[in-house]
Amino acid sequence: MSVSINHCPICGFKADESYTSVLELRCSYDICDCCGCEYGHDDDLKFYADWVKDGCVWFEAKAQPQGWTLDDQVRNQIRPWPPK
Ligand SMILES: [Zn+2]
């Protein structure tokens, strides 16, 4: 699957890096500033559901833009995740 991914597939927040494939992202073990999932480790939909249930607490609070809402970034999510 050849793509360019520059948002967290789980929560849709803009990623620090741009990834050229799903595999590259999942092998990076980078951690999303927003939802805090670690790609390739706990980047799954259960993690996302728990994160939302717990009130969308930011992993890096200082990265949170003013006036942030989850609604603005859900269009950047990738579903299903991980892709088949
Ligand atoms: Zn995220």
* Neighbouring residues of the ion ligand 1, judged by CB less than 5 Å: 8, 10-11, 13, 32, 34-35
> What residues contact 76, with CB distance under 8 A and at least 6 apart?
7, 8, 12, 13, 14
How remote is the CA of residue 19 from the centroid of ligand 1, in Å? 14
Residue 37's domain comprises 5-76
Coil, strand or helix: which one is 71?
Answer: helix
d(CA 84, CA 82): 6
Is residue 84 assigned to a domain? no
How remote is the CA of residue 3 from the centroid of ligand 1, in Å? 18
Check if the beta carbon of residue 21 is closer than 8 Å to that of residue 36.
no
Check if the beta carbon of residue 24 is closer than 8 Å to that of residue 40.
no
The total domain count for the chain is 1
Is residue 48 assigned to a domain? yes
pLDDT digits (tens, 9 = 90+) for 35-72: 999 999 999 999 999 999 999 999 999 999 999 999 99
Is residue 25 assigned to a domain? yes
Is residue 29 assigned to a domain? yes
Is residue 81 assigned to a domain? no
pTM above threshold 0.95: no
Is residue 82 assigned to a domain? no
Q: Say what the pLDDT of residue 57 is.
A: 97
